[in-house]
Homo-oligomer: A and B are copies of this chain.
Amino acid sequence: MRQDAVTSTPRSLDPRQACPIDPVVDIIFSRWTTPILWTLNSRGRLRFVELKREISTITSKVLTERLRQLERDGLVIRTYHREIPPRVEYEISDLGRTLAPLFATLAEWASVNWEQVEKARATYEAANSAPSVR
């Protein structure tokens, strides 16, 4: 199915092969995964409810789905305690922790360039108000 994602030959006949990092983006930056990973990374091991409270707007259904994916991909570790009431804890895995520098880079990029993005938007919006040749 998927071959070497970081191949040197830039043949892009395949869907995603126009961009070698696409599969990675898919697992790391799919919806809700960033807040989840970020929270687990900064807050440490958390119970399901605690995690849910952190990411206030997420529903338990979606949170469960995302956690399953992250667990499946080895980025998050799930620990089930047979108790009454049941207790389940989630923590970031070693593999997941290797993403920290990446996230830091991203945060850094944001702090440096976000203003530029907003300026670009304002400019674009202004130019869009006036009828012009597209």
Contacts and interface: CB of A to CB of B under 8 A. Distances in A.
Nearest to A103: B21
Q: How many copies does the complex hold?
A: 2
A34 interface: yes
A49 interface: no
Interface string A46-89: 00000000111110000000000001111100001010000000
A56 B14 contact: yes
A133 B38 CA distance: 27
Contact of A34 (B21, B27, B101): B21
Contacts of A134: 80
B21 A106 contact: yes
Interface residues of A, number: 65
Interface of A: 5-6, 10-25, 27, 29, 31-32, 34-35, 38-39, 42, 54-58, 71-75, 80, 82, 95, 98-99, 101-103, 105-107, 109-114, 116-117, 119-121, 123-125, 128, 133-134
**Interchain residue pairs A-B with the least CB separation, the first 4:** A74-B120, A19-B35, A29-B29, A19-B38
5 contacts: A5-B110, A12-B54, A14-B56, A15-B56, A19-B55
Given A19-B38, A95-B116, 16 more contacts: A5-B111, A6-B111, A12-B39, A12-B55, A12-B56, A15-B35, A18-B56, A19-B34, A20-B38, A20-B110, A21-B106, A73-B117, A74-B119, A74-B124, A75-B117, A98-B112
